Amino acid sequence: METNDFIHILTEKGLKITPQRLAVLDALRRLHNHPTPDQVCRMVKSSHPHIAIGTVYKTLETFVEKGILKKVKTDGDVMRYDDVPHCHHHLYCADSQRIEDYFDDELNALLDDYFKRKQIPNFNVDEVRLHINGRFVGE
């Protein structure tokens, strides 16, 4: 993604375009693959040393509130961020703590159909995301 893409994302979500927000989006793009808040802070600070860590955390939370990011929690209760907007699931390796996106339209259809039929009392399902625990082979 380029700066123009970041500007479009912020504008589309009704957010002001600030150097701090652009720096966080750039860090997320460079880190990809579900970074922790600390990883984002380190990446931002490497190119923008004067940005306060609190600003980075606040920006991440704003992005979650606006739907730009989603939070992903690992088994060890480590918070990570996901910037992929498309419906997907996660493969999580406890050994390496690596998280990979898993896209499967057939699985999505099965889950959607199941929850439409199941009709959980007093609950509306907005989204189903699986967090699949296992181990990546060869690591």
Nearest C-alpha neighbor of 56 from the set 24, 30, 28, 34: 24
Cα–Cα distance measured from residue 75 to residue 128, given in angstroms and rounded to the nearest whole number: 18
Buried b / exposed e across 33-49, counting CB within 10 Å, b at 16+? ebbebebbbebbbeebe
Task: Flag whether 87 is marked binding.
Answer: no
User: If you ran DSSP here, which 8-state letter would residue 87 be given?
Assistant: S
Count Cβ atoms within 10 A of the Cβ of residue 30 and give its class: 0-12 exposed, 13-18 middle, 19 or more buried.
Answer: middle
Residue reference for tokens 């690992």: 74
Instruction: Round to whole Å and give the CA distance between 131 and 134.
Output: 10
Residues flagged as binding site for Zn(2+): 93
Residues flagged as binding site: 93
